Structure 1
Amino acid sequence: MIRAHRILTNQNITLRNYIPRKNFSKRKNIRDVDYQYLQRSKVPTMHFQKSLPRLPIPELSKTGERYLNALRPLLSSEQYSTAERRTNDFIAKEGKLLQEQLIAKDKRNKHTSYISEYWFDLYLRDRIPLPINYNPLIVFQNDSRPAYNNQLVRATNLLISAVRFRESLKEQILEPEVYHLNPKKSNTEFFRTFTGFLPEAISWYGAYLMKAFPLDMSQFVGLFGATRIPQLTKDKIFRDPSSRHVVVQKNGNFYIFDVYDSDGNILSPSELLGNLSRIVNDPTPKAEHPLGILTTQNRDEWAEQRRHLVETGNGEMLQKIDSAIFNLVLDDVVIDDDKHMILRHFLQGDSNKWFDKSFSLIVTGDGVAGVNFEHSWGDGVAVLRFFQDIYNETTGKPYIHPDSKPSETNVTVSKLEFNLDDKSKGFIAKALKEYKDWCDTLSIDYILYEGLTKEACKKFKVSPDCIMQLGFQAAYHLLYGKYVGTYESCSTSAFKHGRTETMRPCTDHTKLFCDKLHSNNSSKDELRAIMAECSTYHSQLVKEAAMGEGFDRHLFALMKTAEENQTRKPDIFESYEYKYLNRSILSTSTLSAPSVLAGGFGPVVKDGFGIGYSAFPDKLGAAVTSYKPHNDSSKFVEALHKSFLDITKILSG
């Protein structure tokens, strides 16, 4: 299975339709305008979207070359020779025709990227359960003021900021996402004024002249009022842009309440506090039959179960969950700074979750907060932006304080009541047991290594990302004595409807380094020189991937083109080498931001590792998951610690 990120492209929903420009003057009795919006950008949210460059289709010969380069360290000489012949034969014959067909289709669909439809379809057709397999976790840093980590206080502040973010997005006054190559020169008021005056059709080029790169914003529409609905063979995305309520889960029970008043204004902080206070203090016991556990099932099985729920009178209740702006989860569990518990709870959760929602904002009993998000609608770019913006406001300028009093005005909380027959109760009992058994097989561990930092890596003139990936390769080789398919996710959001590309960190250079490191017959100077080559080549691969010049997505699109045109699947896609490369034993993704305490995801194959990692200013960190019958994440972390020690000695030698 390929760890990937998707967007909604074939549902005929566009951001222009979804995010209407409201006329402020038509709002009755509008409250404090500044309170209604988290941001009020001079440059409209979608200002750069029209002129974003399109994701390029790489040259076929270049794709073949890059593919073979990625295969070389994984195969024997004989296997590689076979792969080389097969690849060259594909490029000269079937690949040439498929390339022409792919280019022709891309020219007919200039509103999107060549990979979007195929990648989105791949996601929604996969039948495996969402938690662990697909839904990642991101955990906020705690507020530095302990009193603000009270569950009710923190949950209310996160709710307020999240809805204010949504309103800014709807009004198109949310700051556009822009990567500034030199922030001191381009992240300025002049930049915003200059690019804001430019017509949308050329605005991107104006930003480019200032060495700033606007990013694709099409995924942001998927954040709110959205749910993935299970259906047989292929799921669908449901969206309700007019939604006025949030759904809250507590003890396996579901509650809803409106977050807007009758005039369409966001309720005051004390009113939102009043609604959440009503739920927190509700004495209703833990649900005997927690419906949320059904979202942990195989998608076809869950589709059949959901159909039965609708047939037995639960359609309206399910629709209220589906259409909610987002899901707010209040858990009783107390984390108490237990990193293992943080990772386990926010990744796999329990029966008090609804994994189908676009995202669930989770707050524990002691105020540890984070997000678990469904992946089919988009990738981490939109989620991380939302994550950082609401973290910055809730820790910098919160609206609710430890001494704030809840209001009784506009408290509209209602508990969702489901009609569960014996058959539905049987579904739930079965799912509870199966999910517990599954979660019990999951091994989760982490490493925080203070011997190297992000700045130290730069000081030694090596890429921090390369050093971490080199550590993963060395750790796996130390444990198993071989090299395997490794996946590093790289964003292509610099392009219209850009998604991700795979960067392949296992290279001839990393293989040479690990072989010499573990043979103990090389000097530090020799190893340091090889490490420098690893870093240079790694940076080249990252740049190629980010610029749409990788090979994985291109080959996948060519394979889908063959299927689409009902031609025979070329031998290259049925080959041992293609399947071996794409069996991601090491599935990795980086997530670095001041607001992030931890991030992670599950293994994508039974005998693999899921590695979410960060190069922090004061340390290197990684969360590692695996399945106990096949691997041990603790042993991998031990090997990774030794590898980091070895790398540190070589660098500082």
Structure 2
Amino acid sequence: MSLLAAKRIHPITAKVNGYTTLLPLQRLSSKNEAASVDHGDEYQYIEKSKVGTMHFQRSMPRLPIPQLEKTCERYLLAQKPILIEEQLRHTESCVKRFLVGEGPTLQKELKAFDAKNRHTSYISEYWFDMYLRDRKPLPINYNPIVAFAPEKDPRYENQLIKATNLLISSIRFMKSLRTGVLAPEVFHLNPKKSDTDTFRKVTGALPPLLSWYGAYLFKAFPLDMSQYHNLFNTTRIPELEKDMIYQDVTARHIVVMRKGNFYRFDVLDKENFIYSPKEIASNLKAILADDAEVAENPIGLLTTTERDLWAGTRHHLSEIGNQDLLKTIDSAILMLILDEETLATDYKHLIRTLLHSDGVNRWFDKSFSLIVAKDGTAGLNFEHSWGDGVAILRYLQDVKKDTEVKPRFHPEDVASVSPNSSIKKLNVVTDARISNAINQAKEEYKKWYDRVGVDYFIYDGFGKKECKTIGVSPDAVMQLAFQLAYYKQEREMVATYESCSTAAFKHGRTETVRSCTTATRAFCEAVTNSSSKISKSELKKMIVNCCNTHNQLIKEAAMGQGFDRHLFALNKMWEKLGIQKPAIFEDPAYAALNHNILSTSTLSSPAVTAGGFGPVVQDGYGIGYMIQDLRLGAVSTSYTDRRNGSDYIKLLESAIKEIHAILSHE
């Protein structure tokens, strides 16, 4: 079933700028209405923007298809620092044959496909398909994690208080999104001139078909908002060969997991108003007061398994009487996870708990799970097929700000809240087959996550501010450090992936920045050569050259002018046409470049205390990093039987210090 076919649309909906959105229901008078529910907009919405959420969507530029010659040129530049001379000559030969052979035909077909689908981007369908067809389990392989920075007032780190406030702010965010009053995401080149009331007044007054161009005149660039609707009421459902994304925006409930048990309660009343903070807290208090043991058959473990296997097991679960349970989980606004552990004092344990845990108290198929530990430490684990970090980060930042600026539930409220008996504990029907599947999943999953190593470093005293003073990109500096650390460890350069958003275009997803370049290779060789007599001044010039090269790659990627997604689409087009496989895709160098030993991504924000993901290949590193004004840091994951992650992170910290010392040289 297609993505669109899987969506269940609410009867009280309308098309706003081409997108289905849930309309706010009119206030209905009722004698039985709960007096505790605040129907005012100030409580019901996280914000009410004068510029509609989807105001810029219709006029957004489409993701460009790069020139074939430019793509091949960029591809060879990325291969050059990785391949030996003989391999490079062979790859150059394959590229030349592609340019005069199948390449132009595939390019023509891709452009024709793009022209027929002007409502989206040329990469969107292929990208969804790639995720949904992959049969690998979701945790570690795909689901990234982000941790909320702790509250400034430690009294609000209580599990009940934190969960209540995060939940209320999440629903407020959802309602603003659904009713089209969440401010659209805009990248301001010069915020002082464009992030103003004048900008919002002018662009908001323009028709949607012209609004993007109005923003452009302010040197502001609206970002694609199409992914945001999949944040809520959404689940990836396993099916044989290809999963589906299911959404039901009519649901008013959330599902809470605790000790592998499931609970549900409504957070919206029948008129779609958010229940009062005390009423929501009373439901959570009842769940936390439940003295039930860990679930005897924790079916959440089944979401850790291979997708075809899980599809078959899920079908059986449904057949033996769990249809309503699964529907309740799938349609829930979000999954709230209440864990029994404390995480604030152990950073590695925090990362592990958010990334994989033991699987008992998880449902990895939900669009995202909001996880709150015993000590109030909170984070997100999100499924990746429906969207990227841009939407998740916006949600996290807005919710974090809302809970800090105006929390709705306070420490002094706890004593006055009694556990609410209106929550429903969900019954799970199992049989011998399900019990065996759970036991096997538990055993296999433990073997798997026990192989995962988690390491990190935080380097204080160097960050965005000093990089700006020196005149170098902090992101480029971090990427150079990743290269230097790996070169010191293995004495080779390898395929490196840095994620770059293409949300500046309609239905853009991501592009790859190939941060292993001839410039970084030259620097790594120079700085590790014990007999080298290169001065610090010369090394500093080399770093600046690396940064300039990297900045150009970032610019090209963000503007849809990278080569990875283009070649990916051309490869898919070859499969679709059924012609002879082009030599460029037969070349082992193409597979090697897409075997990303170093896979890197950042979600830098003061609202984030940690972020990360698993290694994307068995012999690789998954590196989530942060860049702040006065601090740099990274979380590295790897499989301990294939890589020495602790050694790599030590070398990475050493590389940062070395680069910092060179840059500080006058």
Q: TM-score range by the shorter chain?
A: over 0.9
For residue 48 of structure 1, the aligned residue among 51, 56, 66 is 56
**Which whole-Å CA distance do the structure 2 matches of 1:17 and 1:407 have between them?**
40
Report runs of 4+ in structure 1 exceeding 6 Å deviation: 12-15, 27-30
**Which whole-Å CA distance do the structure 1 matches of 2:324 and 2:303 have between them?**
17
For residue 361 of structure 2, the aligned residue among 335, 352, 360 is 352
Is 2:556 aligned against 1:554? no
Matches for 1:15-94 after TM superposition, within 5 Å: 16-22=18-24, 24-25=26-27, 31-94=39-102
- The equivalent of 1:616 in structure 2 is 628
**Which whole-Å CA distance do the structure 2 matches of 1:200 and 1:329 have between them?**
39
1:288 Cα offset (Å): 1.6
Q: Deviations over 1:107-163 (max 9, x none)?
A: 111000000001110000000000000000000000011110000000000000001
Is 2:313 aligned against 1:301? no
For residue 270 of structure 2, the aligned residue among 251, 262, 268 is 262
The worse-fitting range, judged by mean Cα deviation, of 81-90 and 56-65 is: 81-90
- The equivalent of 1:474 in structure 2 is 484
Q: Deviations over 1:371-404 (max 9, x none)?
A: 0000010001111100000000111210000111
Contact 2:25 2:272 in 1 (8 A): no
Contact 1:451 1:648 in 2 (8 A): no
1:411 Cα offset (Å): 5.4
Is 2:541 aligned against 1:533? no
For residue 163 of structure 2, the aligned residue among 155, 166, 170 is 155
Is 2:513 aligned against 1:506? no
**Which whole-Å CA distance do the structure 1 matches of 2:405 and 2:27 have between them?**
30
**Which whole-Å CA distance do the structure 1 matches of 2:467 and 2:147 have between them?**
25
Contact 2:483 2:520 in 1 (8 A): yes
Unaligned runs of 5+ in 1: 1-6
- The equivalent of 1:3 in structure 2 is none
Identity %: 52
Count of residue correspondences? 647
Is 2:637 aligned against 1:625? yes
**Which whole-Å CA distance do the structure 1 matches of 2:313 and 2:504 have between them?**
40
Matches for 1:127-206 after TM superposition, within 5 Å: 127-206=135-214
C-alpha RMSD over aligned residues: 1.6
Contact 2:25 2:271 in 1 (8 A): no
SS of residue matched to 2:601:
strand
SS of residue matched to 2:81:
helix
**Which whole-Å CA distance do the structure 2 matches of 1:411 and 1:313 have between them?**
25
Opposite residue 383 of structure 2, the aligned amino acid is: E
For residue 457 of structure 1, the aligned residue among 463, 467, 477 is 467
Is 2:453 aligned against 1:438? no
- The equivalent of 1:566 in structure 2 is 578
1:260–1:407 CA distance, 2 compared to 1 (3 A): farther
TM-score normalized by structure 1? 0.97
The worse-fitting range, judged by mean Cα deviation, of 74-83 and 17-26 is: 17-26
Is 2:527 aligned against 1:517? yes
The worse-fitting range, judged by mean Cα deviation, of 561-570 and 627-636 is: 561-570
**Which whole-Å CA distance do the structure 2 matches of 1:407 and 1:449 have between them?**
43
**Which whole-Å CA distance do the structure 1 matches of 2:253 and 2:3 have between them?**
23
**Which whole-Å CA distance do the structure 2 matches of 1:518 and 1:71 have between them?**
22
Contact 1:9 1:120 in 2 (8 A): no
The worse-fitting range, judged by mean Cα deviation, of 618-627 and 517-526 is: 517-526
Contact 1:624 1:633 in 2 (8 A): yes
**Which whole-Å CA distance do the structure 1 matches of 2:478 and 2:177 have between them?**
35
For residue 130 of structure 2, the aligned residue among 122, 138, 150 is 122
Opposite residue 42 of structure 1, the aligned amino acid is: K
Is 2:501 aligned against 1:491? yes
Q: Deviations over 1:476-512 (max 9, x none)?
A: 0000000110000000000000000000000000000
The worse-fitting range, judged by mean Cα deviation, of 49-58 and 25-34 is: 25-34
1:409 Cα offset (Å): 9.9
Contact 2:283 2:419 in 1 (8 A): no
**Which whole-Å CA distance do the structure 2 matches of 1:449 and 1:221 have between them?**
37
- The equivalent of 2:117 in structure 1 is 109
Matches for 1:206-225 after TM superposition, within 5 Å: 206-225=214-233
1:525 Cα offset (Å): 1.2
1:171 Cα offset (Å): 0.6
**Which whole-Å CA distance do the structure 1 matches of 2:417 and 2:270 have between them?**
17
The worse-fitting range, judged by mean Cα deviation, of 331-340 and 316-325 is: 331-340
Q: Deviations over 1:544-589 (max 9, x none)?
A: 0000000000001001111111222212112111011110000000
Contact 1:258 1:412 in 2 (8 A): no
- The equivalent of 1:398 in structure 2 is 407
**Which whole-Å CA distance do the structure 2 matches of 1:523 and 1:8 have between them?**
57
**Which whole-Å CA distance do the structure 1 matches of 2:263 and 2:3 have between them?**
28
Q: Deviations over 1:20-76 (max 9, x none)?
A: 333545686772222111110101100000000000000000000000000000001
For residue 585 of structure 1, the aligned residue among 584, 591, 597 is 597
1:11 Cα offset (Å): 5.6
Is 2:650 aligned against 1:648? no
**Which whole-Å CA distance do the structure 2 matches of 1:9 and 1:641 have between them?**
46
Contact 1:137 1:373 in 2 (8 A): yes
**Which whole-Å CA distance do the structure 2 matches of 1:608 and 1:332 have between them?**
32
- The equivalent of 1:4 in structure 2 is none
Q: Deviations over 1:401-452 (max 9, x none)?
A: 0111455698521001011111101111111111111110000010101242
Opposite residue 78 of structure 1, the aligned amino acid is: E
**Which whole-Å CA distance do the structure 1 matches of 2:266 and 2:29 have between them?**
17
SS of residue matched to 2:565:
helix
1:419–1:23 CA distance, 2 compared to 1 (3 A): closer
Unaligned runs of 5+ in 2: 10-14
**Which whole-Å CA distance do the structure 2 matches of 1:9 and 1:72 have between them?**
42
TM-score normalized by structure 2? 0.95
For residue 366 of structure 1, the aligned residue among 371, 375, 382 is 375
Opposite residue 261 of structure 2, the aligned amino acid is: N
Contact 1:138 1:372 in 2 (8 A): yes
1:214 Cα offset (Å): 0.4
SS of residue matched to 1:18:
strand
- The equivalent of 2:396 in structure 1 is 387
- The equivalent of 2:12 in structure 1 is none
The worse-fitting range, judged by mean Cα deviation, of 450-459 and 548-557 is: 450-459
SS of residue matched to 1:651:
helix
**Which whole-Å CA distance do the structure 1 matches of 2:272 and 2:504 have between them?**
35
SS of residue matched to 1:370:
strand
Contact 1:18 1:241 in 2 (8 A): no
**Which whole-Å CA distance do the structure 2 matches of 1:291 and 1:301 have between them?**
14
Opposite residue 399 of structure 2, the aligned amino acid is: I
Contact 2:458 2:631 in 1 (8 A): yes
For residue 425 of structure 1, the aligned residue among 408, 431, 435 is 435
Contact 1:275 1:412 in 2 (8 A): yes
Q: Deviations over 1:206-226 (max 9, x none)?
A: 000001100000000110000
1:9–1:62 CA distance, 2 compared to 1 (3 A): farther
